[in-house]
Structure 1
Amino acid sequence: MDEFLQRESIVLAPFEAHHLDGAVALSRAAGWAHRREDWEMIWSLSEGRVALAGDRVVGTAFMTPFGDTCAAINMIIVDESQRGQGLGRKLTTAVLELAGDRECRLRATSDGLPLYEKLGFVTTHKITRHQGVTGRVDAPANVEWIGSAALPAIKALDSAAFGADRDALHDVLANEGTFAAIRDGDGIVAFAATRLFGKGEVVGPVVAANAGQARDLLAFILSGKEGRVVRVDIPEDSGLSSPLEEWGLRNEGGVVAMVRRAGARPHTPAVQTFSLASQAVG
């Protein structure tokens, strides 16, 4: 154990089930909306590290693998009493080691940006969070709810847009939420997922060929959520901010998408991600 951890009596350990309540308390103190169920979902897909001061959780970081080529680095949080002492760097470095040679993606706040740049991450684009009480939205006729039989098509579309295998994520989303889709003949050409999250519900991922399809998917799902708190995280340049604000989901700022060891994309995908499943997993 290095000198820093010995001096501060802080140890890093694998994240386990008995750390969940401490992690929830930590995130609530930081103003995060995550419920215990939201932590459990990410943990079920990830390997994590926890910083402990005695039995108290004072920091966390997770690595969510997407096959052998890509990973999301997420849930990096440090107790206010421990900030400014290098603990965030140690937690992030620990989960980067878990990622190995994978391309690593994360969403950074302005506070975390300098650290991630020092660790080799570069900015790719901005993500905007829209959240609020949903107003009246008219449902388009070209979208329908779909069941788990459509999962292979959903996984293929998501893999094309994201650039990596997120099959395990979609298995979890199928258990915890519902999917809507646009068909062209018998085939699914665009989809969106929705589930409970934080203060209400979240819509994402939304994968489509263009902003028009993405808007229709969002409108269809939001049409059934009038009066409910809904969150949607979108790339800043998606063209969806205006309709989301019209539907009651105000712009609440955002984060910066970053990547480390970016892998080459062989071609421009026919579909893209217009809304994230969450800031944690993209």
Structure 2
Amino acid sequence: MALALSKGVVAIEHERVVGTVLVTCYKEDGATINMVIVDEAMRGRGLGRRLMDEALRLAGDRPLRLVATSEGLPLYEKLGFQETGRILQHQGVVGEIAAPAEAEPASAADMTAIGDLDRLAFGADRGDLFSCLSKVGEFAVVRRERRVAGFAVVRPFGRGEVIGPVVADNLEDAKALVAHFIALRPGRFLRVDTTAAAGLSGWLAEQGLAHVGDGVAMMKPPVEPAQTVPTIFALANQALG
């Protein structure tokens, strides 16, 4: 999915790939930089900086986002990226829970409203991403007065499935959307990438999705995160935002 949505560059030495970077553009509204990987034997030679220079060229004038590891953080700061929050990765095998009454499976007729909500919450048109998600994932929605007020997606990812993005007006609706998919998957391995600011982390741990790692959300140019409604409570994943 990342390759289908992105442009990228590889570094090659002696006919072997030793570095990668991808840029996922969301129309002209913004882009994420991801899959910044340098072979361990090549580190300390400036290859990460050269890959990032190529990524910045591919992105053009778009506002940029990425999720940094502690190893990559100093380079991104030098390039003008600024921390905007923390990303918390939760995962685990879930048990049986009751299905919430507030959430229900989405219909094809809901996709326009889902796209509109995501655009408001994310600040960019991710229509291409949602076209991919609609082919491989399942959508759920929360309705208020017959309108779609929140949504979530689940899809195959890694060892199991990832739940995200999750967009809702409030924390309780976000919990209901995540719980909708947990209830349908007892005994399955699930992952959710949330933010520290979202307030979902403690509840995820209570459901059996342990907090297993952090990342630093960064933007260039630095922009104070807007307190938007609806709000993103979980990412599609750390690469795609």
- TM-score interval, normalised by the smaller of the two chains: over 0.9
Q: Residue in 1 aligned with 2:178?
A: 218
| 1:149 counterpart (99, 109, 117) | 109
Query: How far off its partner does 1:264 sit?
Result: 8.1
Aligned identity (percent) is 48
Q: Residue in 2 aligned with 1:42?
A: 2
CA RMSD in angstroms comes to 1.4
Query: How far off its partner does 1:49 sit?
Result: 0.4
Residue identity opposite 2:67 in structure 1: R
Rounded Cα–Cα distance in structure 2 between residues aligned with 1:263 and 1:93: 21
Q: Residue in 2 aligned with 1:239?
A: 199
Rounded Cα–Cα distance in structure 2 between residues aligned with 1:252 and 1:183: 32
Q: Residue in 1 aligned with 2:232?
A: 273
Q: Note if 1:111 corresponds to 2:71.
A: yes
SS at match of 2:198: coil
Rounded Cα–Cα distance in structure 1 between residues aligned with 2:29 and 2:204: 33
Deviations 1:74-124 (A, max 9, x none): 110011111111111111110111111110000000110000000110000
* Cα distance change on mapping 1:130 and 1:264 into 2, 3 Å: closer
With normalisation by structure 2, the TM-score equals 0.96
Residue identity opposite 2:78 in structure 1: K
Q: Residue in 1 aligned with 2:144?
A: 184
Q: Note if 1:162 corresponds to 2:133.
A: no
Residue identity opposite 2:238 in structure 1: Q
Contact 2:84/2:224 (<8 A) preserved = no
| 2:60 counterpart (79, 100, 104) | 100
SS at match of 1:132: strand
What 5-or-longer segments of structure 2 have no aligned partner? none
Rounded Cα–Cα distance in structure 1 between residues aligned with 2:70 and 2:36: 14
Rounded Cα–Cα distance in structure 2 between residues aligned with 1:269 and 1:62: 28
Q: Show the 5 A alignment for 1:71-110.
A: 71-110=31-70
Rounded Cα–Cα distance in structure 2 between residues aligned with 1:199 and 1:55: 30
Deviations 1:161-187 (A, max 9, x none): 000110000010000101000011321
Deviations 1:203-229 (A, max 9, x none): 000000111110110111111111111
Contact 1:235/1:275 (<8 A) preserved = yes
Residue identity opposite 1:63 in structure 2: V
Rounded Cα–Cα distance in structure 1 between residues aligned with 2:85 and 2:227: 17
Rounded Cα–Cα distance in structure 2 between residues aligned with 1:234 and 1:185: 27
| 1:198 counterpart (140, 150, 158) | 158
Rounded Cα–Cα distance in structure 1 between residues aligned with 2:39 and 2:107: 41
Contact 1:69/1:101 (<8 A) preserved = no
Q: Residue in 2 aligned with 1:11?
A: none
Query: How far off its partner does 1:149 sit?
Result: 2.6
Length, aligned pairs only: 241
What 5-or-longer segments of structure 1 have no aligned partner? 1-40
Q: Note if 1:59 corresponds to 2:23.
A: no
Rounded Cα–Cα distance in structure 2 between residues aligned with 1:124 and 1:262: 8
Q: Which has the larger radius of gyration?
A: 1
Q: Note if 1:175 corresponds to 2:135.
A: yes
